[in-house]
Amino acid sequence: MSRNFVSEADAAIALDLALRVESGHLRRVAAFNLLTTTYQFAPHTANAYLNCYPHLRRGTPWKATVSVNAVRVMLETIATGGANDLLTALQSVKGHLEYFAGRGKTLIALQALLQEFQLQLAHTAQVLQSELDLESRVRASSLDDPALRRQRLALATKKPKRSVRIVHDYYRNADVVVEVLDRAQGVCEDCGEPAPFHRRSNGTAYLEVHHLIRLADNGDDSVENAIALCPNCHRRMHFG
């Protein structure tokens, strides 16, 4: 029997399917059939969960009801892509709230979630320029001769420089990022699955470099202390 209630575990499954659809690795009709048959989602609930993630990615409001916990998981996943991606997603949440406000409904829990992530975004904005700088240095490192890059790594300090704004920021070694991604060869080093999608900008596999011992906990910014993760595994490492 189909159901409307969606547990956190099932919401995570729906998000994984939505990610596969978004990346082109799964047809939407196949994802819908999986949710409605294998996981017993009601048809309108399956549509709501599959539609919500692409709306968040595009900044457009969705209209169906999705649990606040599910929206949180989606925002946490999107936030790993950086401040611009999170800003776009929050525009979608605002549009959803405005849609329901126009129908005389106030979604208090979702409003609180929006405020929480807006605060997170305000902190993230403080280090956005640093992130852009790292991306630029990663591109330069990836174009460099691998032997020269490894020579630099052999001489590089493993403790990143730290600057203080509102939050602590670290001047990460771009060579570490490139070497870890090169080692992974497009495969998540935690779950062992291929990257769920590729970057539109350059066609490379979308994996995220994660420090096993956090830099904030005095971990090394080194190849040995870093692994390449798919977005789902990266989110699990940070949020459980």
Above 90 in pLDDT, residue 44? yes
pLDDT tens for each residue of 32-43: 999 999 999 999
With vertex at residue 18, the alpha carbon angle to CA 12 and CA 63, rounded to the nearest 5 degrees, is: 95
For position 104, what pLDDT does the model report?
Answer: 86
φ and ψ at residue 135, rounded to 5 degrees = -60, -40
Summary mean pLDDT of the chain? 85
Above 80 in pLDDT, residue 106? yes
For position 166, what pLDDT does the model report?
Answer: 39
For position 168, what pLDDT does the model report?
Answer: 47
* pLDDT tier at 89, thresholds 50, 70, 90: very high
Cα gap 199→201, rounded to integer Å: 5
pLDDT tens for each residue of 184-223: 999 999 999 998 877 766 778 888 899 999 887 888 999 9
Structure tokens at 79: 């936030």
Structure tokens at 237: 């490492």
Above 50 in pLDDT, residue 165? no
Question: What does the domain layout of the chain look like in residue ranges?
Answer: 8-126, 128-239
For position 212, what pLDDT does the model report?
Answer: 92
φ and ψ at residue 41, rounded to 5 degrees = -70, 140
| CATH T-level topology, domain 128-239 | DNA Binding (I), subunit A (1.10.30)
Instruction: Supply the DSSP symbol for 63.
Output: -
Lookup result for tokens 């691998």: 146
Cα→Cα distances 238→56, 68, 205, 234, Å? 21, 19, 21, 6
